[in-house]
Structure 1
Amino acid sequence: MSFTSEKRDQIKKYILEKIGDGQKDVAKRASEAFNVSLNTIYRYIRELEKAEIISKNARTYTFVEDTKIFVLTRTDGQLDEEDIIYAKYIKKYIEKLPDNVKQIWQYSFMEMMNNAIDHSQAEKVFILIAQNYMNTTIAIYDEGIGIFKKIKDYYNYDSLDDAVNELFKGKLTTDTKNHSGEGIFFTSRILDDFLALSDGKIFSHNKYEDIAQDIKEIDSLKEWANQRGTVIFMRLSNYSKKVLKEVFDMFADIDGGFIKTRIPIKNIYETYPVSRSQAKRLYNRFDKFQEIELDFSGIEEIGQGFAHELFVVFTREHPNVKLSPLNISKEVEKMINHVKNGN
């Protein structure tokens, strides 16, 4: 059976996606998905090996990856301008990618590199770039002041957890004169995977979920629990269909202002929220936005004090800020209606 080049490319991409997901029995899955013989699938796998796109280790296929590490020091004048750093170290890897992917990396890398230069006060910054046929990964590690500790100290928050949770909202910066506080918010949402590791805590966003928790709770990251500084990890598919402007438009008005944010409630509370003090910490800086989407996925109940403080007291004092609860259970909906109706 002879396939069109488009069909062959489709089958090969499916094979690569399954390898990237760590799936077993890749050949069998591809054979069943496209209703073609195993011999045909194995021929395509051999072609991918010959092209040095994948390699076989024992009985497992992995991507062939090009990895580079760069070390930049402030004393040598290497930490001055993020656009110069991008042009010198990163551009050659990104230029060959589709325009929409290239624009996302230009924005994301330079925003995070600027944070390392301006905020960390680090004398040394490490940049890692790893690229294979399907994905590009960039990590930036500085040995400076941890991002969460700096936010906690600047805003006088009670705990590091409060500092981490504020990042879900956006518009958070420790240098209001020179920064808008939008970099991490938009970067974390435009990439496929984003992690910030610092001070024994992790802030993460990927296409499936947001995460905020102790690094010690994640076996693969325990070694970073006491590491000084901040690690920013970013990954994006080389074939992503995302467009930077579309993500901006999700949270901006017609004039381009950052007016809207979305907060995953389940990542802020270990148990369901019940108290007024919890609500007050949650709505800190809500007045910076015009609309707040509160995602209650995974939250089965909320307390009356929490609901009243958030949906009655805050709303009464800030009538120009719209609170939009999403993915609410019947119990959460019942409590919100209960406090709004004054029952």
Structure 2
Amino acid sequence: MREDSPNPTSSTVSIGDAARALNLSEKSLRRLADRGDIPSTRTAGGHRRFTLPAVRAALGTIAHTGLTHRGEADWTGDVDLVDLDEAIVWSRIATALSLDPKSEGTRIMNYAFTEMLNNAIDHSGGGQAMVRVWSAPDQLAFEIQDDGVGAYLRLRDGLGLVSVLDAAAELTKGKRTTWPERHTGEGIFFTSKAVTEFRLSANGIRLTIDNQRDDYALGASAVTEGTRVEAALDLPPTTTLREVFQEFTDDDLRFSRSRPRIELFGTGLSFVSRSEARRVLADMTDFDDIDIDFTGVDDVGQGFVDELFRVWPSQNTGVQLHPLNMNDAVAFMVRRGIGVRGKGSLPPDAESG
């Protein structure tokens, strides 16, 4: 139902006219206005009115510490998720923005965008998503915001995890999905590796993966309803999509290598318990090689090391663990823990720094 004012003015438009002009749904406009993200006024009868230049400016500069700070998006639209074909949406965007289908940047963003929109279609439980895309000579970027239950809550409940924070950490493993019949759980993992910077915000938390700085960050987010996915790719890209897949697949192109970040699996910088170690490697038996990244970890306990590098490998023969980026204290405990028991092994490529 349109909320038209009985006395429209030349400077403001109704919500229906604004929705058509901006290629957004009335529902999205109401949500943005209710949150204060875009300006609006009301008539004496209570109908919303919008000033299009002001709304366009606000849409380009919504303050959510996003990855995309390029002003107004070059393509904006609402999509109905039911029976949606993500490839058709990308084709429409690529045509509108004259993206070169043969360029590596377009190939990477085609993969990333369609994977993330497909996640919203199949997993969000929502009905709509708002899409924004930025295209510049030095960067391609997109944002997809759906109105579903939130990615971390969905994963927490689907995998039987304790908290949404646990769900965020699980996503960094790969092969984690609540619908194994339809999904491999690889989409978010490979997308987050292929772009320059990736961010997934939902259920009050935000996971950011910055590949330029080789950094992960987990923090609070203002996104409490639905899921917001943001991805930015600097141009020209420093890697190809094929190289990204090759890093984590074997000769048969099977997703065989993972790289969990230890610091995401706890609330501090010290990891001492066996239960923490079990969480890190939960459901990782499908991989042949697992890089255990200790970046940001100050120290580890004997029980944690023993569980991680002796007990788990003894129960899962054939899976190689490779500790990376250890400080001296962590490296000492890892080497000591393995050496004392004599049954574990520290691969020759183990790194400390």
For the superposition of Structure 1 and Structure 2, which TM-score range results when normalised by the shorter chain? 0.7 to 0.9
- Return the match for 2:250 from 249, 253, 260: 253
Residues 73 and 124, structure 1, Cα contact 8 Å, conserved in 2? yes
1:287 and 1:238, CA in 2 relative to 1: closer, same or farther beyond 3 A?
Answer: same
1:196 matches 2:200:
yes
1:129 matches 2:139:
no
**Structure 2 unaligned residues grouped into runs of 5+:** 1-68, 342-353
Look up the SS of the partner of 1:341 in the other structure: helix
- Return the match for 1:106 from 104, 110, 116: 110
Look up the SS of the partner of 1:298 in the other structure: coil
Query: How far off its partner does 1:66 sit?
Result: 5.2
Task: State the match for 1:214 in structure 2.
Answer: 219
Residues 290 and 321, structure 2, Cα contact 8 Å, conserved in 1? yes
Query: How far off its partner does 1:141 sit?
Result: 0.5
Task: State the match for 2:79 in structure 1.
Answer: 72
Task: State the match for 2:61 in structure 1.
Answer: none
TM-score normalized by the length of structure 1: 0.75
CA distance in 1, matches of 2:128, 2:94: 18
Task: State the match for 2:229 in structure 1.
Answer: 232
Task: State the match for 2:47 in structure 1.
Answer: none
Task: State the match for 1:18 in structure 2.
Answer: none
Residues 260 and 280, structure 2, Cα contact 8 Å, conserved in 1? no
Residues 98 and 238, structure 1, Cα contact 8 Å, conserved in 2? no
* Aligned residue runs from structure 1 range 44-63, under 5 A: none
Residues 259 and 288, structure 1, Cα contact 8 Å, conserved in 2? yes
Per-residue CA shift, 1:133-156, capped at 9, x if unaligned? Answer: 311110000001200000000111
Residues 270 and 300, structure 2, Cα contact 8 Å, conserved in 1? yes
Look up the SS of the partner of 1:323 in the other structure: strand
Task: State the match for 1:187 in structure 2.
Answer: 191
RMSD: 1.9
Task: State the match for 2:145 in structure 1.
Answer: 141
TM-score normalized by the length of structure 2: 0.73
1:63 and 1:280, CA in 2 relative to 1: closer, same or farther beyond 3 A?
Answer: closer
Moved over 4 A (4+): 62-66
Q: Counting helix residues as a fraction of each chain, which structure ranks higher?
A: 1
CA distance in 2, matches of 1:106, 1:94: 13
1:337 and 1:191, CA in 2 relative to 1: closer, same or farther beyond 3 A?
Answer: same
Query: How far off its partner does 1:91 sit?
Result: 4.1
* Aligned residue runs from structure 1 range 17-96, under 5 A: 67-74=74-81, 79-93=83-97, 95-96=99-100
Identity of aligned residues (%): 30
1:238 and 1:72, CA in 2 relative to 1: closer, same or farther beyond 3 A?
Answer: same
Look up the SS of the partner of 1:287 in the other structure: coil
Task: State the match for 2:14 in structure 1.
Answer: none
CA distance in 2, matches of 1:286, 1:158: 18
1:317 matches 2:321:
no
The letter for the 1-side match of 2:261 is P
Per-residue CA shift, 1:93-115, capped at 9, x if unaligned? Answer: 26237621111011111101100
